[in-house]
Amino acid sequence: MITHSDIRFPSPVSYGPLQLPSRYLLSPLAGYTNLAFRRIVRQIGGVGLATTDLVSANALVHLNEKTQRMIETHPEDRPFAVQIFGHAPAVMVEAARMLAARGTDTIDINMGCPVNRIASGGSGAGMMCNMAGTLSLVQAVVEAVRIPVSVKMRLGWDASQLTAPQFAREFEQIGVCAIAIHGRTREQGFGGSVDLRGIRAVVEAVEKIPIIGNGDVRTIGDAARMLIETGCHGVSIGRGALANPWIFRQLAQWEATGSYDPPGTFNDRLELLLRQFAYMIEQFGEQGGIVRFRKMAHWYLKSMRVRSGLRHRFQQAKTRPEIDAAIAAVIAAGPLEGTRDGLLPDMHIPVPSGPVERW
Protein backbone atom coordinates (compact mmCIF):
# COMPACT_ATOMS: atom_id res chain seq x y z
CA MET A 1 0.00 0.00 0.00
CA ILE A 2 1.21 3.48 -0.86
CA THR A 3 1.84 5.67 2.16
CA HIS A 4 2.19 9.41 2.49
CA SER A 5 5.96 9.14 2.98
CA ASP A 6 6.32 7.35 -0.40
CA ILE A 7 5.26 10.50 -2.20
CA ARG A 8 7.36 13.48 -3.11
CA PHE A 9 4.66 16.02 -3.90
CA PRO A 10 5.36 18.18 -6.94
CA SER A 11 5.52 21.98 -6.58
CA PRO A 12 2.19 23.84 -6.36
CA VAL A 13 0.16 23.90 -9.55
CA SER A 14 0.05 27.15 -11.51
CA TYR A 15 -2.09 27.94 -14.53
CA GLY A 16 0.21 30.54 -16.07
CA PRO A 17 0.47 33.29 -13.45
CA LEU A 18 -2.44 31.89 -11.47
CA GLN A 19 -1.23 29.73 -8.60
CA LEU A 20 -3.94 27.31 -7.51
CA PRO A 21 -4.61 26.96 -3.78
CA SER A 22 -4.33 23.18 -4.04
CA ARG A 23 -3.53 20.50 -6.63
CA TYR A 24 -6.97 18.87 -6.28
CA LEU A 25 -9.46 20.11 -8.84
CA LEU A 26 -13.17 19.61 -9.41
CA SER A 27 -13.70 18.02 -12.84
CA PRO A 28 -16.56 19.44 -14.91
CA LEU A 29 -19.73 17.31 -14.75
CA ALA A 30 -22.56 18.57 -16.96
CA GLY A 31 -25.69 18.96 -14.88
CA TYR A 32 -23.83 18.78 -11.56
CA THR A 33 -20.93 21.20 -11.27
CA ASN A 34 -23.28 24.15 -11.14
CA LEU A 35 -22.67 27.20 -8.98
CA ALA A 36 -24.54 25.75 -6.00
CA PHE A 37 -22.38 22.61 -5.88
CA ARG A 38 -19.18 24.58 -6.48
CA ARG A 39 -20.03 26.79 -3.52
CA ILE A 40 -20.58 23.72 -1.35
CA VAL A 41 -17.22 22.10 -2.15
CA ARG A 42 -15.40 25.41 -1.82
CA GLN A 43 -16.93 26.00 1.61
CA ILE A 44 -15.75 22.57 2.73
CA GLY A 45 -12.27 23.44 1.43
CA GLY A 46 -9.27 21.97 -0.36
CA VAL A 47 -10.41 22.75 -3.92
CA GLY A 48 -7.71 24.09 -6.25
CA LEU A 49 -9.96 25.05 -9.15
CA ALA A 50 -13.57 24.46 -10.09
CA THR A 51 -14.97 24.58 -13.60
CA THR A 52 -18.43 25.10 -15.02
CA ASP A 53 -20.17 22.36 -16.97
CA LEU A 54 -19.24 22.48 -20.63
CA VAL A 55 -20.75 25.56 -22.26
CA SER A 56 -21.38 26.02 -25.97
CA ALA A 57 -19.23 28.84 -27.36
CA ASN A 58 -21.88 29.44 -29.96
CA ALA A 59 -24.63 29.82 -27.36
CA LEU A 60 -22.37 32.11 -25.33
CA VAL A 61 -21.77 34.55 -28.16
CA HIS A 62 -25.47 34.57 -28.97
CA LEU A 63 -26.18 35.50 -25.37
CA ASN A 64 -28.41 32.47 -24.91
CA GLU A 65 -30.13 32.98 -21.57
CA LYS A 66 -29.68 29.42 -20.28
CA THR A 67 -25.98 29.60 -21.13
CA GLN A 68 -25.59 32.94 -19.36
CA ARG A 69 -26.92 31.30 -16.21
CA MET A 70 -24.39 28.48 -16.56
CA ILE A 71 -21.51 30.93 -16.26
CA GLU A 72 -22.84 32.74 -13.21
CA THR A 73 -20.40 32.79 -10.34
CA HIS A 74 -20.05 34.08 -6.77
CA PRO A 75 -17.23 35.68 -4.76
CA GLU A 76 -16.56 32.38 -2.96
CA ASP A 77 -16.36 30.53 -6.33
CA ARG A 78 -12.70 31.37 -7.05
CA PRO A 79 -10.46 30.62 -8.83
CA PHE A 80 -13.07 29.94 -11.43
CA ALA A 81 -12.82 28.35 -14.89
CA VAL A 82 -15.40 28.23 -17.65
CA GLN A 83 -15.20 25.26 -19.97
CA ILE A 84 -16.18 25.95 -23.58
CA PHE A 85 -16.71 23.71 -26.55
CA GLY A 86 -17.03 24.44 -30.25
CA HIS A 87 -15.26 23.97 -33.53
CA ALA A 88 -15.40 27.35 -35.26
CA PRO A 89 -12.26 29.36 -34.37
CA ALA A 90 -13.93 32.77 -34.72
CA VAL A 91 -16.76 31.76 -32.37
CA MET A 92 -14.39 30.21 -29.82
CA VAL A 93 -12.25 33.36 -29.89
CA GLU A 94 -15.25 35.63 -29.40
CA ALA A 95 -16.55 33.47 -26.55
CA ALA A 96 -13.12 33.51 -24.88
CA ARG A 97 -12.92 37.31 -25.15
CA MET A 98 -16.35 37.67 -23.59
CA LEU A 99 -15.37 35.42 -20.70
CA ALA A 100 -12.10 37.24 -20.12
CA ALA A 101 -13.97 40.57 -20.10
CA ARG A 102 -16.31 39.20 -17.39
CA GLY A 103 -13.38 38.42 -15.10
CA THR A 104 -13.23 34.64 -15.56
CA ASP A 105 -9.92 33.43 -14.11
CA THR A 106 -9.16 30.81 -16.72
CA ILE A 107 -10.76 29.15 -19.75
CA ASP A 108 -10.77 25.42 -20.38
CA ILE A 109 -11.33 24.01 -23.86
CA ASN A 110 -13.27 20.75 -23.97
CA MET A 111 -11.65 18.11 -26.16
CA GLY A 112 -12.97 15.13 -24.25
CA CYS A 113 -16.73 15.08 -24.62
CA PRO A 114 -17.58 11.73 -26.28
CA VAL A 115 -21.27 12.44 -26.92
CA ASN A 116 -22.04 11.99 -30.63
CA ARG A 117 -23.99 15.20 -31.00
CA ILE A 118 -20.88 17.15 -29.99
CA ALA A 119 -17.98 14.94 -31.16
CA SER A 120 -19.38 14.22 -34.63
CA GLY A 121 -19.58 17.95 -35.33
CA GLY A 122 -15.84 18.23 -34.69
CA SER A 123 -16.13 19.60 -31.12
CA GLY A 124 -15.27 17.82 -27.86
CA ALA A 125 -13.44 14.54 -28.47
CA GLY A 126 -13.94 15.09 -32.22
CA MET A 127 -11.11 17.65 -31.98
CA MET A 128 -8.72 14.77 -31.36
CA CYS A 129 -9.26 13.62 -34.96
CA ASN A 130 -8.02 16.85 -36.49
CA MET A 131 -4.54 17.78 -35.28
CA ALA A 132 -3.88 20.77 -37.55
CA GLY A 133 -7.33 22.32 -37.22
CA THR A 134 -7.36 21.83 -33.44
CA LEU A 135 -3.93 23.37 -32.96
CA SER A 136 -4.85 26.45 -34.94
CA LEU A 137 -8.16 26.81 -33.09
CA VAL A 138 -6.54 26.47 -29.66
CA GLN A 139 -3.73 28.83 -30.64
CA ALA A 140 -6.27 31.43 -31.79
CA VAL A 141 -8.01 31.25 -28.40
CA VAL A 142 -4.73 31.42 -26.45
CA GLU A 143 -3.62 34.48 -28.42
CA ALA A 144 -6.99 36.24 -28.10
CA VAL A 145 -6.99 36.53 -24.30
CA ARG A 146 -4.59 37.41 -21.53
CA ILE A 147 -6.03 34.89 -19.09
CA PRO A 148 -4.63 31.33 -19.01
CA VAL A 149 -6.20 28.76 -21.35
CA SER A 150 -6.15 25.05 -20.53
CA VAL A 151 -7.36 21.99 -22.42
CA LYS A 152 -9.14 18.88 -21.17
CA MET A 153 -8.83 15.80 -23.33
CA ARG A 154 -8.87 12.01 -23.42
CA LEU A 155 -6.00 9.70 -24.37
CA GLY A 156 -7.15 9.66 -27.99
CA TRP A 157 -10.04 8.67 -30.19
CA ASP A 158 -9.43 4.94 -29.79
CA ALA A 159 -6.65 2.54 -28.83
CA SER A 160 -5.10 2.79 -32.29
CA GLN A 161 -4.83 6.59 -32.09
CA LEU A 162 -3.37 7.57 -28.73
CA THR A 163 -2.66 11.12 -29.78
CA ALA A 164 -2.78 12.85 -26.41
CA PRO A 165 1.02 13.04 -25.89
CA GLN A 166 1.51 14.57 -29.32
CA PHE A 167 -1.29 17.09 -28.70
CA ALA A 168 0.16 17.92 -25.29
CA ARG A 169 3.62 18.63 -26.73
CA GLU A 170 2.16 20.92 -29.37
CA PHE A 171 -0.21 22.63 -26.94
CA GLU A 172 2.67 23.53 -24.66
CA GLN A 173 4.48 25.16 -27.60
CA ILE A 174 1.48 27.34 -28.46
CA GLY A 175 0.99 28.59 -24.91
CA VAL A 176 -1.64 26.33 -23.35
CA CYS A 177 -1.17 26.71 -19.57
CA ALA A 178 -2.17 23.22 -18.37
CA ILE A 179 -3.74 20.00 -19.59
CA ALA A 180 -6.25 17.81 -17.80
CA ILE A 181 -6.21 14.28 -19.09
CA HIS A 182 -8.92 11.67 -18.55
CA GLY A 183 -7.14 8.33 -18.88
CA ARG A 184 -9.57 6.75 -21.34
CA THR A 185 -10.13 6.95 -25.09
CA ARG A 186 -13.28 8.33 -26.65
CA GLU A 187 -14.19 4.84 -27.77
CA GLN A 188 -14.03 3.61 -24.18
CA GLY A 189 -16.60 6.14 -23.01
CA PHE A 190 -16.63 5.44 -19.28
CA GLY A 191 -16.00 1.71 -19.56
CA GLY A 192 -12.91 -0.21 -18.51
CA SER A 193 -10.42 1.31 -16.16
CA VAL A 194 -8.27 4.39 -16.37
CA ASP A 195 -4.91 3.85 -18.05
CA LEU A 196 -2.34 5.43 -15.76
CA ARG A 197 0.49 4.64 -18.18
CA GLY A 198 -1.38 6.62 -20.84
CA ILE A 199 -1.50 9.62 -18.49
CA ARG A 200 2.20 9.15 -17.72
CA ALA A 201 2.96 9.37 -21.45
CA VAL A 202 1.29 12.80 -21.50
CA VAL A 203 3.28 13.93 -18.44
CA GLU A 204 6.48 12.85 -20.19
CA ALA A 205 5.56 14.63 -23.41
CA VAL A 206 5.63 18.14 -21.90
CA GLU A 207 8.47 20.18 -20.46
CA LYS A 208 6.97 22.46 -17.84
CA ILE A 209 3.23 22.88 -17.91
CA PRO A 210 1.20 21.05 -15.26
CA ILE A 211 -0.65 17.90 -16.24
CA ILE A 212 -3.77 17.12 -14.27
CA GLY A 213 -4.54 13.41 -14.04
CA ASN A 214 -8.21 12.43 -14.11
CA GLY A 215 -10.39 9.38 -13.90
CA ASP A 216 -11.80 7.05 -11.24
CA VAL A 217 -10.26 8.83 -8.23
CA ARG A 218 -12.58 8.04 -5.33
CA THR A 219 -10.23 7.80 -2.37
CA ILE A 220 -6.98 9.16 -1.01
CA GLY A 221 -5.32 5.90 -2.14
CA ASP A 222 -6.56 6.43 -5.71
CA ALA A 223 -5.16 9.98 -5.75
CA ALA A 224 -1.83 8.75 -4.34
CA ARG A 225 -1.63 6.13 -7.09
CA MET A 226 -2.46 8.72 -9.73
CA LEU A 227 0.31 11.04 -8.47
CA ILE A 228 2.95 8.33 -8.08
CA GLU A 229 2.28 6.21 -11.16
CA THR A 230 1.76 9.06 -13.61
CA GLY A 231 4.00 11.79 -12.19
CA CYS A 232 1.12 14.25 -12.76
CA HIS A 233 1.08 17.59 -10.94
CA GLY A 234 -2.55 17.72 -9.98
CA VAL A 235 -5.57 15.45 -9.79
CA SER A 236 -9.07 16.26 -10.90
CA ILE A 237 -12.07 14.50 -9.45
CA GLY A 238 -15.59 14.33 -10.83
CA ARG A 239 -17.95 11.58 -9.69
CA GLY A 240 -15.90 10.95 -6.55
CA ALA A 241 -16.76 14.49 -5.41
CA LEU A 242 -20.49 13.93 -5.91
CA ALA A 243 -20.28 10.88 -3.67
CA ASN A 244 -17.96 12.60 -1.18
CA PRO A 245 -17.84 16.42 -1.32
CA TRP A 246 -15.24 16.30 1.48
CA ILE A 247 -12.67 14.61 -0.74
CA PHE A 248 -10.76 17.81 -1.61
CA ARG A 249 -10.38 18.80 2.02
CA GLN A 250 -9.33 15.27 2.89
CA LEU A 251 -6.69 15.32 0.14
CA ALA A 252 -5.34 18.72 1.19
CA GLN A 253 -5.16 17.57 4.83
CA TRP A 254 -3.49 14.33 3.80
CA GLU A 255 -0.91 16.14 1.68
CA ALA A 256 -0.11 18.52 4.54
CA THR A 257 -0.10 16.07 7.45
CA GLY A 258 -0.48 12.46 6.28
CA SER A 259 -3.87 12.12 7.96
CA TYR A 260 -7.33 13.47 7.30
CA ASP A 261 -10.82 13.83 8.75
CA PRO A 262 -13.51 11.32 7.85
CA PRO A 263 -16.16 12.29 5.29
CA GLY A 264 -19.49 13.67 6.46
CA THR A 265 -22.19 11.70 8.23
CA PHE A 266 -25.87 11.35 7.38
CA ASN A 267 -26.57 14.53 9.36
CA ASP A 268 -23.71 16.44 7.67
CA ARG A 269 -24.88 15.34 4.24
CA LEU A 270 -28.44 16.33 5.01
CA GLU A 271 -27.19 19.78 5.98
CA LEU A 272 -25.28 20.07 2.65
CA LEU A 273 -28.32 18.88 0.71
CA LEU A 274 -30.48 21.58 2.29
CA ARG A 275 -27.82 24.24 1.77
CA GLN A 276 -27.28 23.34 -1.86
CA PHE A 277 -31.04 23.28 -2.45
CA ALA A 278 -31.31 26.76 -0.90
CA TYR A 279 -28.56 28.05 -3.22
CA MET A 280 -30.38 26.63 -6.22
CA ILE A 281 -33.60 28.35 -5.19
CA GLU A 282 -31.68 31.58 -4.60
CA GLN A 283 -30.34 31.37 -8.18
CA PHE A 284 -33.26 29.90 -10.12
CA GLY A 285 -36.35 30.55 -8.02
CA GLU A 286 -38.43 27.84 -6.37
CA GLN A 287 -39.61 25.95 -9.46
CA GLY A 288 -36.32 26.20 -11.35
CA GLY A 289 -34.42 25.19 -8.22
CA ILE A 290 -36.60 22.11 -7.64
CA VAL A 291 -36.23 20.87 -11.22
CA ARG A 292 -32.47 21.40 -11.30
CA PHE A 293 -31.80 19.97 -7.86
CA ARG A 294 -33.36 16.53 -8.40
CA LYS A 295 -30.33 15.04 -10.21
CA MET A 296 -27.98 16.10 -7.47
CA ALA A 297 -30.37 15.07 -4.70
CA HIS A 298 -30.10 11.53 -6.02
CA TRP A 299 -26.37 11.48 -5.17
CA TYR A 300 -26.91 12.99 -1.73
CA LEU A 301 -29.68 10.55 -0.87
CA LYS A 302 -27.74 7.55 -2.17
CA SER A 303 -24.68 8.52 -0.17
CA MET A 304 -26.91 9.07 2.89
CA ARG A 305 -28.10 5.47 2.49
CA VAL A 306 -31.73 6.56 2.19
CA ARG A 307 -34.01 3.71 1.17
CA SER A 308 -35.13 3.66 -2.44
CA GLY A 309 -38.83 4.36 -1.79
CA LEU A 310 -37.96 7.67 -0.14
CA ARG A 311 -35.45 8.56 -2.85
CA HIS A 312 -38.15 7.91 -5.39
CA ARG A 313 -40.57 10.12 -3.48
CA PHE A 314 -38.03 12.95 -3.59
CA GLN A 315 -37.61 12.52 -7.36
CA GLN A 316 -41.38 12.71 -7.86
CA ALA A 317 -41.82 15.89 -5.80
CA LYS A 318 -42.83 18.85 -7.94
CA THR A 319 -43.78 21.54 -5.46
CA ARG A 320 -42.13 23.01 -2.39
CA PRO A 321 -44.59 21.38 0.04
CA GLU A 322 -43.96 17.99 -1.65
CA ILE A 323 -40.20 18.45 -1.39
CA ASP A 324 -40.49 19.51 2.24
CA ALA A 325 -42.59 16.43 2.99
CA ALA A 326 -40.07 14.18 1.19
CA ILE A 327 -37.23 15.69 3.23
CA ALA A 328 -39.19 15.27 6.47
CA ALA A 329 -39.68 11.58 5.60
CA VAL A 330 -35.93 11.19 4.94
CA ILE A 331 -35.13 12.81 8.29
CA ALA A 332 -37.64 10.63 10.13
CA ALA A 333 -36.35 7.40 8.55
CA GLY A 334 -32.57 7.99 8.85
CA PRO A 335 -30.03 5.81 7.03
CA LEU A 336 -30.79 2.24 6.01
CA GLU A 337 -27.28 1.18 7.08
CA GLY A 338 -25.05 2.94 9.59
CA THR A 339 -26.02 5.73 11.99
CA ARG A 340 -26.97 9.38 11.69
CA ASP A 341 -23.72 10.66 13.10
CA GLY A 342 -21.21 7.96 12.23
CA LEU A 343 -19.34 6.75 9.14
CA LEU A 344 -21.61 5.44 6.38
CA PRO A 345 -20.67 2.65 3.95
CA ASP A 346 -19.29 4.04 0.65
CA MET A 347 -21.86 4.41 -2.09
CA HIS A 348 -21.50 2.65 -5.42
CA ILE A 349 -20.44 5.15 -8.07
CA PRO A 350 -22.39 4.69 -11.28
CA VAL A 351 -20.89 4.61 -14.74
CA PRO A 352 -22.94 6.76 -17.13
CA SER A 353 -25.19 4.49 -19.15
CA GLY A 354 -24.50 3.84 -22.85
CA PRO A 355 -20.75 3.90 -23.39
CA VAL A 356 -20.56 7.10 -25.38
CA GLU A 357 -23.98 8.48 -26.13
CA ARG A 358 -24.64 9.83 -22.67
CA TRP A 359 -22.26 11.11 -20.02
Task: State which of positions 163-192 bind ligand FMN (CB under 6 A).
Answer: 182
Question: CB-wise, 46 or 112, nearer to ligand FMN?
Answer: 112
* Residue in 113, 129, 177, 232 annotated catalytic: 113
Q: Rounded distance, CA 294 to CA 278, Å?
A: 13
Smallest gap, in angstroms, from Cβ of residue 58 to ligand FMN?
16
- Classify the phi-psi angles of 132: left when phi > 0, otherwise alpha if psi is within -120 to 50, otherwise beta: alpha
Residues 6+ apart with CB under 8 A from 79: 15, 18, 20, 21, 48, 49, 105, 106
Asked if residue 23 binds ligand FMN (CB under 6 A), the reply is: no
Identified binder of ligand FMN from the candidate list 86, 112, 234, 245, rule CB under 6 A: 112
Here the contacts of 75-79 (C-beta below 8 Å, separation 24 or greater) are: 76/39, 76/42, 76/43, 77/35, 77/38, 77/39, 77/42, 77/50, 78/105, 79/15, 79/18, 79/20, 79/21, 79/48, 79/49, 79/105, 79/106
Q: How far apart are the first and last CA of the chain?
A: 32
Asked if residue 303 binds ligand FMN (CB under 6 A), the reply is: no
* Binding-site string for ligand FMN from residue 37 to residue 76, where x marks contact by CB under 6 A and - marks none: ----------------xx----------------------
Smallest gap, in angstroms, from Cβ of residue 311 to ligand FMN?
18
Active site residue 129: no
Identified binder of ligand FMN from the candidate list 240, 245, 289, 335, rule CB under 6 A: 240
Q: Are 33 and 53 in contact (CB under 8 A)?
A: yes
Amino acid at 202: V
Count of residues engaged in binding ligand FMN, rule: CB under 6 A: 23
Identified binder of ligand FMN from the candidate list 110, 150, 188, 230, rule CB under 6 A: 110
Asked if residue 30 binds ligand FMN (CB under 6 A), the reply is: yes
The torsion angles phi and psi of 246, rounded to 5 degrees, stand at -85, -5
Q: Which stretch binds ligand FMN (CB under 6 A): 67-75, 234-242, 248-256, 335-343?
A: 234-242
Q: What is the SS3 assignment for 176?
A: coil
- Which residue is closest to ligand FMN by CB? 238
Question: C-alpha angle 334/337/342, rounded to 5°?
Answer: 75
* Binding-site string for ligand FMN from residue 147 to residue 166, where x marks contact by CB under 6 A and - marks none: -----x--------------
Asked if residue 213 binds ligand FMN (CB under 6 A), the reply is: no
Q: Are 211 and 190 in contact (CB under 8 A)?
A: no
Chain contacts with ligand FMN (rule: CB under 6 A): 27-31, 53-54, 83, 110, 112-113, 152, 182, 214-217, 237-240, 352, 359
Q: Which residues are catalytic?
A: 113
